[in-house]
Structures are given as C-alpha cells and as structure tokens.
C-alpha cells in the first residue's frame, strides 16, 4: 500500500456562517492523503493505474468554489467526489484549514478532517 499526497494546497474561498465571510472570503489550506496499491502503477508506469494528484487538486479546487456555511460540508464533498472519480483510491483523508479565522483569538487556523475508505 502506498500514499499519494497533496500538501498545503492554498485556495481562496467564501465559506462560513458569518455574512462577511461570504463577501470577503479567506485563504484555506487543503491536505489530501490517498491510500492506494501502487504496485500496478509502479510496473506499468502509466497514469491510468495511479492516483492522479493533479486530478485530486482540481477536485479540491472545484469544490472550494461552491460556497458552504461549514467546512464539514466542503470536506465531505471533496472526499465523496475523489472516491467517485478515482477508483484506485482505497482510503482517503482530507484536511481543510481556514487560515486566520474570525474566532476573536490568536488562532492561526481552524480545520476539519475526514477519513473514509472506498466501498
């Protein structure tokens, strides 16, 4: 079993329960870990047999364009679409962090993570 990672994908989005968040927006960091059997891809040297990190990045960026109140909603959509589009994924973990959240504190970020196995 191997892992394909997308690390610290920086995107801009308009998520949150506060009206200002839907207008001003914020920066987000996305980290994705996809577990897969890498042996077939290692032998074939073909992207068809691999988990495409460009595709994972694009899925995450596309889902970030769809506004949501909660990070849980966005993370769930990224996980679901990744599992649907990438049949080679055995298990996936997505962590979505909002940078400089409006928490009335010095928190640099808040995050939500979701891990799910393929069916």
The number of distinct structural domains making up the chain is 1
Average pLDDT in the chain: 95
User: What are the phi and psi torsion angles at 26 (to 5°)?
Assistant: -160, 165
Distance CA 36, CA 79 (A): 15
- pTM of structure: 0.94
Neighbours of 104 (CB within 10 A): 6
The residues pairing with 96 across neighbouring beta strands, listed in sequence order, are: 30, 112
Cα Rg, the chain, nearest whole Å: 15
Domain range holding 109? 2-117
Token code pair at residue 16? 């949150």
**Per-residue pLDDT tens over the stretch 19-71:** 888 899 999 999 999 999 999 999 999 999 999 999 999 999 999 999 999 99
- The CATH number of the domain holding residue 81 is 3.30.1130.10
């Amino acid at each position: 079993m191997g892992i394909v990672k997308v690390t610290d994908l920086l995107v801009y989005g308009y998520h949150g329960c506060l009206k200002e968040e839907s207008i001003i927006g914020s920066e987000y960091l996305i980290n994705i870990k996809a577990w897969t059997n890498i042996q077939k891809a290692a032998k074939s040297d073909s992207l068809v047999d691999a988990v495409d990190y460009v595709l994972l990045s694009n899925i995450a960026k596309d889902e970030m364009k769809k506004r949501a109140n909660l990070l849980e909603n966005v993370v769930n959509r990224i996980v679901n679409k990744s599992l649907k589009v990438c049949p080679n994924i055995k298990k996936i973990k997505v962590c979505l962090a909002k940078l400089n959240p409006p928490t009335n504190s010095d928190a640099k970020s808040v995050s939500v993570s979701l891990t799910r196995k393929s069916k």
